Amino acid sequence: MNSINPNALQPYLKRMGRAFVIDMIETYLANSPALVDTLCANFHKQNLEEFTRAAHILKSNSATMGAEKLAALCEQLEQAGQSGRIDHLRPEIESMPQQHREACHELSQLLSKIPRD
């Protein structure tokens, strides 16, 4: 696994249990694609407020899941949005969907290995 740090979920697993972690991963897999779409669409619209908001939420959620590379990219996008300059971010925006797909694929694999009660 290159996109996900599986140790990131260990504290949740220990404290909250498998069912909670399963729900966290399933929620991320269900909701994060819309955030990527929102982020990309608002980049093209140059809507700084919505762009920055989506970058912030995706950053936080990705970090929680252990998607450290994706979270770092979102941090960069969020900071650029806060500074008011996002026009130079086209390469990062174009790489976002692929990085997100890789993280989701690895999370799906991780999810399939968690025993269900």
Count of beta carbons in the 10 Å neighbourhood of residue 68: 15
Rounded-to-integer distance, Cα 8 and Cα 43, Å: 29
Domain 6-113 maps to which CATH number in 1.20.120, 1.20.140, 3.60.15, 1.10.3470? 1.20.120
Dump pLDDT digits (tens) for 6-64.
899 999 999 999 999 999 999 999 999 999 999 999 999 999 999 999 999 999 999 99
Domain boundaries, the chain: 6-113
pLDDT digit string (tens) for 67-93? 999 999 999 999 999 999 998 999 999
Q: Give the tokens for residue 102.
A: 């890789």
**Model confidence over 87-117: pLDDT tens digits?**
899 999 999 999 999 999 999 999 999 888 7
pTM for this predicted structure: 0.93
What beta strand segments (E) does 1-117 contain? none
pLDDT on residue 1: 57
